[in-house]
A and B are shown apart, each in its own frame.
Chain A
């Protein structure tokens, strides 16, 4: 085949652009041969970013950033616009996977000691990418203008409002006004579509430049210590002796990983579809409990579990503290051992972090601290607890339902878990203690003294005094005295 015309055509551009001069050496620069499958997650994240840009531009063709119409435009995309649901699904699953793979990439870099000398700046720019991507996640969730977005933004503003001194000004700055409405949506639209992607483009450029200029981290061997004086020499010999050109050798692995990544996005988008929008963000529809997307669930859990006096400090202080530590990490431990087998503290820290995040995320999904708002009218009283009870006790069972006690107290596992389950409460509190607890509250229980008549208190306490574990209700053979017997006594009188 005569390739001369093609060569001539390319040369015409090259003699003007000098592109091959710039890109050629970068694409074929030598990388350590030890860079294997664990090194593909950065490329996967970058691919997803490009996918997010592409699908995002498509979404912007139909999305209307107006408080009154955004939700409708999303519904239109889901149900009327051809393939609208699929584009939305790819965008949201792309974002989930981008955050996931970015986190894996970051953990790999941490465990392989790749943040150490001379790649401190690569790590710091990477942190910037991480923060911007999380910010994309949050702002994107706001653009999904539904009840979760509306009240989720309210949660965000309640947190921002706690910043010392300038809290309220910051809230009004972020909202572009004083309420969650159109101007707030427009600000988040500008952030999500212009500001943050712009920042990401710049940071990605820097990150890649640093990857090329400082080289890809060699897979560490236990026992090798990073030394600023000898590192470059050693890296160069390693690359010269056992290096390979990035393109096509190392790039082949990346290409396989990238294809799998995109396939996963398509698969998840087809299987699970787009995310929401759930209910219309009409603020007057207050029967709603907002949930953030999964990557913020752990924060949501922390906010429920912290003692109030620590809250403001941790909401404001913890992110600053965490960011500072991560930025300083390559300077605190920029030399020395690279291999994770010789860095037990790092490994333990990472395991602890993963366990904590996992546990908090799990807790956030079951949310035991939230009252179950319709338990009192929606969940039946277990039959076993009303069989053979006196009228007064039955009245108490009614009070327990009607006064919303079950929003926080479960019976047979059903109901709220804010307070203790009541199935065996009679084994823990006697009549007087129960009366005191109901009337005065305490230990996170409101005082019902003003809200329950003395008759209701009598009834509910006599019902609760029947709450023994099942086995206590069955008189054992040859044991005529069962705890149930006490119920034959007169109810307490106040």
Chain B
């Protein structure tokens, strides 16, 4: 038999045609009951998944007062690179949670703390004390010492952190990547 066997002779069950029609009332009820039950469990599964995936939506909640260290380490009249550990870090963030920022201390002792990110597209700006300018390496954004826009494509000045002095420590309100509609 095997010698002459052709696959065409084997029945393909999926091709056998329609089965007998279901009796309408009870089957219809069961169908809609099944649909409703699945819709219910679908919502019960979808809600926690959506909540989980969108859990990083905290509105303005991604901010915490974070210390940059003793205020005395920043000389008056100078702008220095500093960094802080992001207050919302995960244990495996490691060094990627270290966030740089520019600390400018005025002659009167008050502070302005700038985000490292250029207001154009977020590249890291560098401070040049000789010409007293911040320059961005990406598209040539330039800012003055006080963070105002000097040249190039940025639509605004540098992002600034709110700062305060607590027990001789300089603290900034930090925790999120600044973007055009939600700065530091």
A residues in contact (CB < 8 Å) with B: 4, 8, 11, 14-16, 18, 20-21, 66-69, 150-151, 154-155, 157-162, 167-169, 171-173, 175-183, 280-284, 286-290, 303-304, 306, 308, 311-312, 369-371, 373, 376, 402-405, 407-408, 418, 441, 444-448, 450-451
A373 and B128 CA atoms in complex are apart in Å by 10
**Is the CB–CB distance between B133 and A451 below 8 Å?**
yes
Are B7 and A14 closer than 8 Å at their CB atoms?
Answer: yes
Using a CB–CB cutoff of 8 Å, the interface residues on chain B facing chain A are 2-3, 5-7, 9-10, 12, 53-54, 56-58, 62, 81, 83, 86, 88-90, 92-100, 116-117, 120-124, 126, 128, 130-133, 135-140, 142, 144-145, 150-155, 175-177, 179-182
In the bound complex, CA of A9 to CA of B93 (Å): 55
Bound together, the chains give a CA A286 to CA B90 distance in angstroms of: 22
Q: A286-B126, A371-B140 are in contact. Are A179 and B86 (CB under 8 A)?
A: yes
A290 to chain B, nearest CB (A): 6
Contact check, B94 vs A68: say whether CB atoms are below 8 A apart.
yes
Pair B144/A446 contact, Cβ less than 8 Å: yes
Contact check: which of A14, A20, A155 meets B138 at CB < 8 Å? A155
Q: How far is the CA of A403 from the CA of B130 in the complex (A)?
A: 5
- Contact residues in A for B139 (Cβ distance below 8 Å): 303-304, 369-370
Question: Are B150 and A441 in contact (CB-based, < 8 A)?
Answer: yes
Contacts of A161 in B (CB 8 A): 179-182
Q: How far is the CB of A364 from chain B (nearest CB, A)?
A: 10
Of B53, B123, B177, most buried by chain A (CB within 10 Å of CB) is B177
Chain B proximity of A373: nearest CB distance (Å): 5
Which of B57, B128, B155, B176 interacts with A173 by CB under 8 Å?
Answer: B57
Please indicate the chain A residues that have their CB under 8 angstroms from the CB of B177 in the complex.
154, 157, 171, 175, 178-180
* Whole-angstrom CA separation of A371 from B138 in the bound complex: 8
Name the A residues within 8 Å of B136 (CB-CB): 371
With A181-B97, A283-B98 in contact, do A11 and B81 touch (Cβ < 8 Å)?
no
Measured between C-beta atoms, what is the minimum distance from A156 to chain B in Å? 9
In the complex, A445→B150 CA distance in Å? 7
| Contact across chains for B56 and A177 when beta carbons are under 8 A apart | yes
Question: With A67-B94, A303-B139, A418-B140 as given contacts, are A283 and B116 in contact (CB-CB < 8 Å)?
Answer: yes
